[in-house]
Amino acid sequence: MLVIGECIHVISRRVRDAIEARDKAFIQNLAVRQVEKGAHMLDLNIGPQKKAGPEVMSWMVDTIQEVTDVPLSLDTTNAAAIEAGLKLCKKKAIINSTTAAPERLALTMPLAAKYNANIIALALRATGLPVSADARVEIVADDLMSAAAEYSVPLENIYFDPLVMTVNGTQEHAPEVVKATRMLKQMFDPPLKTTCGLSNVSNGAPPEVRPVLNRVFLVMLMGAGMDSAILDPFDDKLMEAIRIIENRDDSTPVGRLYLALHDAYAAGEEFDPSIADMSDPDQRDIVKTVRVLENKVIYAHSYLQL
């Protein structure tokens, strides 16, 4: 699992203030700590930055490359800022992101081709995001893969994103994202690479609920074949879940439950929660969360207490 650290994000007041003040120490500390926690790549979300975009992205790339050599994900809608960052990246970067909208493709795909960069391609048309996995895969096959051929971007440079939505209000999307991930891995030869913005699934949920939603959904997605995720590497339990799956660590009851969940989704089978000890709060929370993410139980902020 390629872990892309999400924490350098302009939506954070402290990050936004550090960018405005050009506070290198704060940004560098945040970068280094994410890598120390296990991030293999760092996402640099500077927002639109319509006027100052190229200068801000150049400063961010230089600032971070002074203290770490992990690859970078350049996250902005400003194409000029993306190109400014690509010119400075010492390792192969990811452009985050493009949609299937022709005007967005025309801005981003040529940059991916020119700089041999990776690119995240969202299963999203200008007309909106469909619910069903079939429709998401159709966007990938009909729009995004066609654009990759048109702009001479190798498919191995593209991470296709089926688009995770919040379970709070769009609960029906969660199982379709998992299904779309599996389809993208199974329907194409070679299998397409996939990624997602994991934390989107828990947006709007209470702080005490968000972590379990994130880590259970990630285990389900890993079972379906998800290759990478933009996530919070400071969430120790989330990083531990990744370690459990990757090392096949069944030394704890929670580890065995995660592996059973992962393996059921890897086989495309129904997850059997009967192995869980429902008297154990951690296992009970996992089972309740699976039911919500499978859209079998209606989400409520208090679902873990019900």
Q: Domain-by-domain residue ranges, the chain?
A: 2-233
Bridge partners of residue 228, in order along the sequence: 2
Bridge partners of residue 231, in order along the sequence: 5
> In the prediction, which pLDDT does 294 show?
98
Assess contact for 184 and 140: CB atoms under 8 A.
yes
Tokens (6 digits) for 222: 């890993």
Spatial separation of the C-alpha atoms in residues 118 and 97, rounded to whole Å = 10
Assess contact for 35 and 64: CB atoms under 8 A.
no
Look at the pTM and tell me if it is higher than 0.85. yes
Q: Tell me the pLDDT tens digit for each residue of 59-108.
A: 999 999 999 999 999 999 999 999 999 999 999 999 999 999 999 999 99
> In the prediction, which pLDDT does 147 show?
97
Spatial separation of the C-alpha atoms in residues 105 and 108, rounded to whole Å = 5
Query: Is beta strand 118-122 parallel, antiparallel or unpaired with respect to 41-45?
Result: unpaired
Range list of β-strands (E), 59-214: 72-75, 94-98, 118-122, 158-161, 193-194
**Tell me: domain 2-233, CATH 3.20.20.20, correct?**
yes
Q: Tell me the pLDDT tens digit for each residue of 153-212.
A: 999 999 999 999 999 999 999 999 999 999 999 999 999 999 999 999 999 999 999 999
CA proximity to 159, closest of 188, 133, 121, 214:
121
Say if residue 252's pLDDT is above 90. yes
Report which secondary-structure segment, H or E, holds 43. strand 41-45
Crossing angle of helices 79-88 and 53-65, in 10° steps, is 30
Say if residue 226's pLDDT is above 90. yes
> In the prediction, which pLDDT does 182 show?
97
> In the prediction, which pLDDT does 50 show?
86
Q: Tell me the pLDDT tens digit for each residue of 109-139.
A: 999 999 999 999 999 999 999 999 999 999 9
